[in-house]
Amino acid sequence: MDRISRIFAAALAAILAVSCVDDFAPDLKDAPEPELVIDGLLTTEPAAHLVRLSMTAPFGTPSSEIPVVSGAGVSIWDGEKTVTLTEDPGTGCYYTPEDYYGEAGKTYRLDVEVNIDGEPRHFSAEDTMPPKGIRADAMDYYQMSDSLWMFTIWGQDLPGIASHYAGELVVHDNRLPVGQWVFIDGLSMFDGNYLFAGEYLPYICSEFIPSKEPLTPLEEGDVVTLRFYSLSDFFYTWILAMTNETNARIPMLSSQPANLPSNVHGDGVRGCFMTADLTKVTIEIGDPARTREQMLLDHLPPGYPIPGGGH
C-alpha cells in the first residue's frame, strides 16, 4: 500500500469511528385544529359528478383513516337552477344525478351547509366552465418497450382559446394514476395548430406505480380511452402547484412545502371546486407490439418522411 493509500485508509477509519448516527427527533409544533376539506370536479360529460367532504388529518395518516364528513347539504347552482347532491351514506361522497353535466361559459357555484363542532357553517366555491379547446379526431399507440406503450392524439387545437389541457388514459376500465397524466399549456405550445401524433401519454406496467388494480401488459382486443380535459385557469394553476408539491425535491428538503391554492370561501376550510370540458377518444388494441413507424405509416401519405427517421 503506497503512502497516499495509507493516509486515505487512516482518514476513513477515523471518520467511521466518530460518525455515529443519533436519532433525529425534531420538535414539531402541535397540529392545528382540523379543518374541512372540499374536493369537487364538474365536467361536460353526463355523469354522477363527485364532491368529497373530509377533515384534515396529521401528516402520514393512512387515507383509509382520514375522517369524512357525512350529513351535509351540498348543491351546485349554475346561475339559473340548483341541483342537490346525494351522499353515499357514511362516505362523505356526494353525487349529482347521473345525467348532470356542465356547459361551456357557465359559472358554477358549489354550496356546502355543514355542522362543525355543533355549529352550522356555510362554504362556497365558484369556477367557470372553459370552452372546448380541441377537436379530437383520433388516437393511436405504439410499444416502446416490454412494459411501456405510448398513446398519441390527432386533432385541431382551436385558435384564440386560452386552453390548458390534461390527458389521462383508462386501460382495462382502470383510470391510471395522476403520475401518468400529461398536463399542457396549450396556448403557448400549439395554439391553432393541428396536433399530429401529439402529446404522448404513457402506459407503464410497473409494480412501483400505485394503482387500485395491478397494471398488466396490453393485449389484442383491449379497449383504451383517452380522456382529454380543457381546464379552467384555476384548475391549471392548481395542477401546477400540486405537481410542484408532490414531485421529488433535489436536494431533499430544498424548499418549504406550501398549501395548495383554494377557491373555497369561508374560515377553517381548504380544497377546491373545479370545472373542465371533457373530450373522449377510444381505440381497440390490435397488435400490442406495434412500432412507432407502423403507427405513423397508418396516418401518413405514401412516401412521406416519418418524423424522427424513415419513410
Question: What digits encode the pLDDT tens for the residues 37-47?
Answer: 999 999 999 99
Q: Average pLDDT over the chain, rounded to whole?
A: 82
**Omega before residue 251 within 30° of 0, cis:** yes
Question: What digits encode the pLDDT tens for the residues 236-279?
Answer: 888 878 777 766 556 555 555 557 888 999 888 989 999 999 99
49 three-state secondary structure: coil
Give the cell for residue 5.
493509500
Q: Indicate the pTM of the whole model.
A: 0.79
- Answer whether 45's CB lies under 8 Å from 58's CB: no
Instruction: Dihedral sign for Cα 64, 239, 242, 267, please.
Output: negative
Which ranges of 149-247 does DSSP label H, i.e. alpha helix? 186-190, 233-246
* Every domain of the chain and the residues it spans: 36-128, 134-260+275-297
- Answer whether 240's CB lies under 8 Å from 311's CB: no
26 three-state secondary structure: coil
Residue 55, beta-bridge partner list = 36
CATH 2.60.40 fits 36-128, yes or no: yes
Asked if residue 225 has pLDDT above 90, the reply is yes
Question: What digits encode the pLDDT tens for the residues 166-199?
Answer: 888 998 888 877 667 777 776 666 778 888 877 6
pLDDT at 303: 74
- Residue 218 CA to chain centroid, in angstroms? 22
